[in-house]
Amino acid sequence: MDPANEPVVDMLNQIADILEITGSDRFRPIAYRRAARTVEALPKPVSEYVSDGTVSQLSGVGEAIAAKITEFVKNGRLEYLENLRRGIPPGLLELLKLQDVGPKTVGKLFAELKITSIDELQKACIEHRIRGLKGFGEKTEEKILQSIAFYRSSSARYLLSDADAISEKLVSYLKPFSSKIEVAGSLRRRKETVGDIDIIVSAADPAKVMDAFTGFGETDVVLSKGETKSSVKLKSGMQVDLRVVDESSYGAALLYFTGSKDHNVILRTLSIDRGFKLNEYGLYRRKNDSVEAGRTEEEIYSALGMDFIPPELREARGEIDAATNHRLPVLVEPDDIRGDIHCHTDWSDGSNSLEDMVSAAERIGYSFIGISDHSRSVRVANGLSEERMVSQIERIERLNKSGRFRTRVLCGSEVDILPDGHLDYSDRLLSRMDYVIASIHSKFNMEEKEMTDRILTAFSNDYLTVFGHPTAREIGKREQIAFSKEKVFSAAAEKSVLLEINGSPERLDLNDSLIIEASKYGCSFIASTDSHHTSSLSNMRYAVSMARRGWLEKGKVANTLDLSHFLGAIGARR
């Protein structure tokens, strides 16, 4: 299959899947799957059939499906599919990734047992609730459990921070052999997890680069070695692909292998519409195959009449239209951040003293740092009693008066949202703090309505400033809590509660998709690190990466403000 057609095939199959899950008449899913097979077998990108108006003439593709393919290719999205997705719980589609679990099975599991995720399905199997369904039995449960185990073992992805650590070491190691070198793929787009690492290199002696790459000290297995591409599996299990390209094609290769696939499909279609052909070697005029651009990404976008699109935005979420119409956001930058207010010390479960954290913030150049140790209910984290919290407030006041640090120390707390929605400290104590981060650290499995009510009750406290790591997820360990995004985001905007973008690599919470969703309700945000050690303050780059993927400009991130304006912003609710 032409790689450019993969997103279209996936789109058609997903429509068929959802129609089957929801019990549509059986002929509609069949039609979409037939069209998907046709597109999969095409000898060239389906975008070319869209451009010349012949897509509806393809076997198995009628006028209605042709119109949907055209909309998807031109816009990078399909309203019909988005409406279908909104009609089902998002976890249902993930169930289809399990071996021997098809759309009809998923529909039955949802209709009869309200199962909406792999975790819920696993629990139902363990509790022997699946065997009670008509057509299912004990062996079915065993097979499903085996499928879940296989899926989880074979779908390994790596934290963004882990991929960064490996790629930075590799790039540094290969630089002496390269004239140009950059990371591409999902790592360059700053996705929250990474499956493998792609590196693009230009070099005078490609063979020397390949020898160095395959001889890297952390290599476990050399999967392949060639003149222009080599692949290795590292001891960590991660795969790294290295491509050596001519300098004249470097920008085109970097653009192509950065992706995303959906972004590239739309870009190639737009190129065709404007008389060009775009691939990993360059941008060519279709009339005579002359090279228009290729050395840099910037010159390719410019030749297509577009502004440069930052890698974080290349997810086919409207960025190409925005770049064409010169309406791309000016994304927040790491240097825009003026301070970090989610920091723990050895008063609770942090590793460093209060003074150590302030000193580290000053070295970074922050104008303020907020200390937010845990409240009393988090006993496992040595949460502070009200008496100890008062002592810390007084300690911070003395430290600020001493003039020892140029960086201003703000006094806050990460206060637990209790199961009934009340905060873990009295209002009398909360009133003495500069700000309050309210977070959920218990009872993660509440039903959606109960959890929503819990959060909204917390929002009714006028001392609450920030909703900390809002979904409470831990990547690969704990799923998001269930709450009504509409109600919570609407309330956050109405009550001026800042939503945290937590840069802890295991959290990255909110993530980009929820930042985009929350922005539609008018929410504002704060980027932070949830640091428990001075070294963790550098994780601000991950919070900023999520903010950038979420299309945020600095004006929507509160801690880009200078100290006086920041204090005014966080004091607005009091």
The CATH classification number of 249-324 equals: 3.30.210.10
Digit-coded pLDDT (tens) for 350-369: 888 999 999 999 999 999 99
pLDDT of residue 489: 98
pLDDT of residue 268: 94
Beta bridge partners of 198: 184, 241
Which residue ranges make up each domain of the chain? 3-154, 158-244, 249-324, 334-570
d(CA 13, CA 546): 29
Digit-coded pLDDT (tens) for 181-206: 999 999 999 999 999 999 999 999 99
d(CA 193, CA 464): 31
Contact predicate 430/461, CB 8 Å: yes
Digit-coded pLDDT (tens) for 403-456: 999 999 999 999 999 999 999 999 999 999 999 999 999 999 899 999 999 999
Assigned CATH class of 3-154: mainly alpha
Digit-coded pLDDT (tens) for 45-69: 899 898 888 988 888 898 999 999 9
When pLDDT is cut at 50, 70 and 90, the band that residue 150 belongs to is low
Q: Is pLDDT of 574 > 70?
A: no
d(CA 93, CA 108): 13
d(CA 550, CA 514): 8
Length of the chain as a residue count: 574
Contact predicate 352/345, CB 8 Å: yes
Amino acid at 134: K
Lowest mean pLDDT among 419-423, 461-465, 519-523, 569-573: 569-573
pLDDT of residue 573: 57
Digit-coded pLDDT (tens) for 323-339: 999 999 999 999 999 99
Residue 275 burial (C-beta neighbours within 10 Å; 0-12, 13-18, 19+)? exposed
When pLDDT is cut at 50, 70 and 90, the band that residue 153 belongs to is low
Question: Measuring CA to CA, how many Å separate 517 from each of 385, 484, 486, 490, 511?
Answer: 37, 12, 9, 11, 10
CATH of range 334-570; options 3.20.20.140, 3.20.19.10, 2.60.40.2300, 3.30.70.1050: 3.20.20.140
Alpha helix (H) residue ranges in 175-311:
185-188, 206-214, 250-258, 261-273, 297-303
Q: What is the 3-state secondary structure (H, E, C) of 20-45?
A: HHCCCCCHHHHHHHHHHHHHHCCCCC
Q: Is pLDDT of 155 > 80?
A: no
Q: What is the 3-state secondary structure (H, E, C) of 218-230?
A: CEEEEEEECCCEE
Digit-coded pLDDT (tens) for 281-302: 999 999 888 999 999 999 999 9
pLDDT of residue 62: 87
In this structure, how many other beta carbons lie within 10 angstroms of the beta carbon of residue 516?
Answer: 17
Nearest to 188, CA basis, from 253, 257, 266, 252: 257
Nearest to 439, CA basis, from 407, 413, 414: 414
d(CA 243, CA 181): 10
When pLDDT is averaged across residues 97-106 and rounded to a whole number, the result is 86
When pLDDT is averaged across residues 122-151 and rounded to a whole number, the result is 87
Give me the sign of the Cα torsion angle 28, 32, 33, 38: positive
* 529 contact partners, CB below 8 Å, separation of at least 6: 340, 342, 343, 502, 503, 504, 536, 537, 538, 539, 540, 543
Digit-coded pLDDT (tens) for 466-511: 999 999 998 866 778 999 999 999 999 999 999 999 999 999 999 9
In this structure, how many other beta carbons lie within 10 angstroms of the beta carbon of residue 472?
Answer: 21
Mean pLDDT of the chain: 92
Q: Is pLDDT of 228 > 60?
A: yes
d(CA 121, CA 101): 11
pLDDT of residue 306: 97
d(CA 221, CA 234): 7
* 349 contact partners, CB below 8 Å, separation of at least 6: 373, 374, 380, 381, 382, 532
pLDDT of residue 98: 85
Digit-coded pLDDT (tens) for 518-568: 999 999 999 999 998 898 999 999 999 999 999 999 999 999 999 999 999
Residue 386, token pair as written in the block: 């009200």
Strands (E), 50-111: none
Look-up: residue for tokens 């690190």?
529
Q: Is pLDDT of 1 > 80?
A: no
Q: Tell me what percent of the residues of the chain surpass a pLDDT of 90.
A: 72
Q: Tell me what percent of the residues of the chain surpass a pLDDT of 70.
A: 98
CATH of range 158-244; options 1.10.1660.10, 2.60.40.420, 3.40.50.2000, 3.30.460.10: 3.30.460.10
